[in-house]
């Protein structure tokens, strides 16, 4: 895609700054979301195994690329490899993924019992959640600082007025608030899951 889109040509350089900000924030949010999904709520959920990477065919693959994952009930996950020869690799990958899960090979499938969380463990998970969300907030602030600098560097540029700069900085502040609100909502939702299973 060309840098110069036909829409809003009069202050194109500045729209680029906001577009870059939105792209970076979107990637950052996806990263935090994946991180938060890996926090166990005490209920079996197929997303629990999202961080698992399996050594297969000479490369690292995500678990869903090599197996189907189901949650037949609230305390059990079942992994069915597409290629049965990968069952040992999958078992090792789940055991070593740092999820505190104990995979058990049962013929052609792997069963994973998801134990209920103690109240103490739930509180630890909430602390971990807050750390992950705070890390996301720090990333938002860092990206904001970079974008603000990018916008301000356009001062004195051809066709860029003080008003253009101010409008762009106002737009940036709106985007930052939006990004932080999304993180707050994610935290509130996950906290509820962790504490009220």
| pLDDT number for residue 2 | 36
Task: Please state whether the predicted TM-score (pTM) of the whole model is above 0.75.
Answer: no
* Pairwise CA distance, residues 112 & 167, whole Å: 53
Answer whether CATH 1.10.132.20 is correct for domain 12-37+118-195: yes
pLDDT > 70 fraction of the chain, expressed in percent and rounded = 90
| pLDDT number for residue 54 | 93
Residue 10, burial from CB neighbour count under 10 angstroms (0-12, 13-18, 19+)? exposed
| pLDDT number for residue 10 | 38
- For 166-177, the pLDDT digits (tens) are 999 999 999 999
Domain range 46-113, its CATH number among 3.40.1050.10, 3.30.1360.40, 3.40.250.10, 3.50.50.60: 3.30.1360.40
Q: Which of 24, 40, 46, 39 is nearest to 140 (CA)?
A: 24
Helices 119-152 and 162-195 pack at an angle, to 10 degrees, of 170
Spell out the domain ranges in the chain: 12-37+118-195, 46-113
- For 73-123, the pLDDT digits (tens) are 888 999 999 999 999 999 999 999 877 788 999 999 999 988 777 788 788
Per-residue confidence band for 13, with pLDDT thresholds at 50, 70 and 90: very low
What are the structure tokens assigned to 97, written together?
A: 């993924």
* Pairwise CA distance, residues 48 & 40, whole Å: 7
- For 21-65, the pLDDT digits (tens) are 999 999 999 999 888 877 767 677 788 888 899 998 999 999 989
């Amino acid at each position: 895609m060309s840098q110069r889109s036909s829409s809003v040509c009069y202050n194109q350089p500045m729209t680029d700054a906001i577009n870059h900000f939105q792209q970076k924030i979107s990637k950052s949010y996806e990263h935090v979301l994946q991180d938060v999904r890996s926090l166990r709520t005490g209920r079996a959920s197929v997303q629990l195994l999202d961080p698992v990477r399996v050594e297969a065919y000479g490369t690292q693959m995500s678990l869903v690329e090599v197996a189907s994952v189901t949650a037949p009930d609230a305390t059990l996950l079942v992994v069915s490899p597409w290629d049965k020869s990968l069952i040992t690799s999958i078992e090792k990958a789940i055991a070593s993924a740092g999820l505190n899960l104990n995979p058990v090979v049962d013929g052609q499938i792997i069963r994973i019992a998801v134990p209920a969380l103690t109240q103490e463990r739930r509180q630890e998970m909430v602390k971990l959640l807050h750390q992950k969300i705070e890390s996301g907030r720090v990333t938002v602030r860092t990206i904001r600082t970079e974008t603000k600098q990018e916008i301000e560097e356009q001062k004195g540029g051809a066709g860029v007025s003080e008003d253009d700069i101010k409008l762009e900085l106002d737009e940036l502040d709106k985007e930052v608030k939006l990004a932080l609100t999304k993180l707050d909502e994610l935290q509130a939702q996950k906290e509820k899951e962790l504490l009220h299973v």
